[in-house]
Amino acid sequence: MKHMNSLFKKWALGFIVLLIVLFLINLAHGSSLLREPFYIISSPIEKLLIIAGEKSSDFLGSLFNFRDLALEEKKLASENQKLLSEIAQMKYLKDENETLKAALSLKLQEKFKLLLCEALSWDFQHNTLFISKGSNDGVLENMPLITGNKVLVGKVVHAYRNSSQVQLISSPKAKFDVSPLSIANGGENKFYTLAQGGGENKIILNFYPLNKEVKANDVFVTSCVNKNFPKSLLVGRVENVVKNDINPYQKVIIKPFFKKDMPEFLFLITNFNSL
């Protein structure tokens, strides 16, 4: 019994010392020194595992849907004819799209000062991402992270020496203002609304006025009223709209444009001072 008591005391003391050490590490933001070498070593393995995960999920998805294949075939046959007629129309739209692209031309470099970085490690469960640039490269907290196509990914929450932690816009902690693309681009009745990350690759607009029309597939962009992010960055597409007679607002669920299999190279906007 005495032996047990002394063993327990030994462990308890060790545990308290460990808690104090870890608390001090967190207080001094020293965790980056421990984390960074692991990210660099693990990054190639992580990429392989992400690819394997993606392929496996596609394969298993098709296995589970095996029963639906016969129905799918019939559906595809009828859709095939429909698609043929649409191809002709698509060709026209393609030409139109190319003209529009040339006219709009993203010209990201002219608008923003960009810093190229690499996605090192994803934590989809906690909606965070670690990137390869840190305070040594001039990264500061709150810098927005985008893709080459002007798609908003998130913002830097911790800048370590050689890497940074980014909070994705799907994180429940992320709050920013958005506008529908049609209105943001010079439409009438300009307005903006608060967007909040809903986790699980979703963004939720809880306060979307009932009198404002919104439908599935509508595109939303940042509006920059609260200066969280620069204006007109692509956020996502409407997945679902929930209306309720009791609630004076409609709830809009948005699927962000960025995906798990996003390009590994991203851009930090270094000349935007967010609040």
- Judge contact between 270 and 113, C-beta under 8 A: yes
> Closer CB to another protein, residue 135 or residue 232?
135
> Closer CB to another protein, residue 38 or residue 265?
38
- Judge contact between 197 and 171, C-beta under 8 A: yes
Q: Are strands 219-222 and 202-209 parallel, antiparallel or unpaired?
A: unpaired
From residue 113, give the alpha-carbon distance in Å to each of 22, 33, 73, 86, 205.
37, 28, 50, 41, 30
42 is a contact residue toward another protein (CB under 8 A): yes
226 is a contact residue toward another protein (CB under 8 A): no
Least gap, CB of 184 to another protein (angstroms) = 28
Closest among 183, 157, 181, 182 to 169, alpha carbons compared: 157
User: Under rule CB under 8 A, which residues in 246-275 are in contact with another protein?
Assistant: 260
Taking CB under 8 A as the binding criterion, the range among 119-127, 139-147, 225-233, 236-244 that sits at the site for another protein is: 119-127
Q: What angle do CA 171, 175, 177 make, to 5 degrees?
A: 130
Least gap, CB of 173 to another protein (angstroms) = 5
65 is a contact residue toward another protein (CB under 8 A): no
* Chain contacts with another protein (rule: CB under 8 A): 11, 15, 18-19, 22-23, 25-26, 30-31, 34-35, 38, 42, 45-46, 49-50, 52-54, 56-57, 121-126, 128, 165, 172-173, 199-200, 260
